[in-house]
Amino acid sequence: MSKKVWITGASSGIGRALAIKFANEGCLVAVSARRENLLKELTEKNNNIYSFPLDVTDINNCKTVFKQILEKFKNIDICIFGTGIHDPKSEKKFNLEKIRKIMEVNYFGTMNSINSVYDYYNEKKGGQISIISSVAGYRGLPAAGAYCASKSALTSFAESLHFEMKRKNVRISLISPGFIKTPMTDQNDFPMPMIKSPEFAAEQIYKGLIKKNGFEIHFPKAFTFFLKILRILPINIYFKLVEKGLKKKI
């Protein structure tokens, strides 16, 4: 039986590739993002994709859009919340306005999305909620304070939500990609090791959600396992390793 899926942040990058992947696998996919024109392109290319424009920073808009999706699909099996922004230049200047915006979109936008489906899943007693975070949430990285903080908050929240929703037979999963070539990472002015395509990411996420039952879906493994090791190192050692890496790039 085909799954019915809702994906936010679907206008580009991982979200777009993921929508195409699920649709090509025969699933019905509701896609949401602010850029209606890009969502329209998706619907025109695949009959299994339906557009539901959304600003995740608007809590009432989230609730309204989810109601519209339910009216159309009657049921939702998987929600994948992946809205995210990053602005490396503003972070280097400690632009407080941009820092607030990053937290508002990345963290609170995801909270608004989860809030819109919480009662539905609570009553349904089944299904999946997946949160797209990042390996940037493992530890603080240079020139990415707000982005790392937003992703770290999502990672911790997903872990906490797991305990609550497991009792209701709802699977919570955390997606932690490494570097993926998207319009967002195109802003970075440094070498990105083991960078992968959005299609690669979509394939890994699809397998993790449909064919496996683990909590965290992370990739590419060679890169993410290295970062997991950094995650458990004492802080002084971590600082020295990162600073040494920075000196090599200067």
Active site residues: 147
Contact yes or no for 244/56 (Cβ under 8 A): no
In this structure, the number of other CB atoms found within 10 A of the CB of residue 228 comes to 15
Bridge-partner residues for 32, per DSSP? 8
* Helix or strand (DSSP H, E) at 104: none
* Helix or strand (DSSP H, E) at 202: helix 198-206
Based on C-alpha coordinates, what's the Rg of the chain? 18
Q: What is the 3-state secondary structure (H, E, C) of 25-91?
A: CCCEEEEECCCHHHHHHHHHHCCCEEECCCCCCCHHHHHHHHHHHHHHHCCCCEEEECCCCCCHHHH
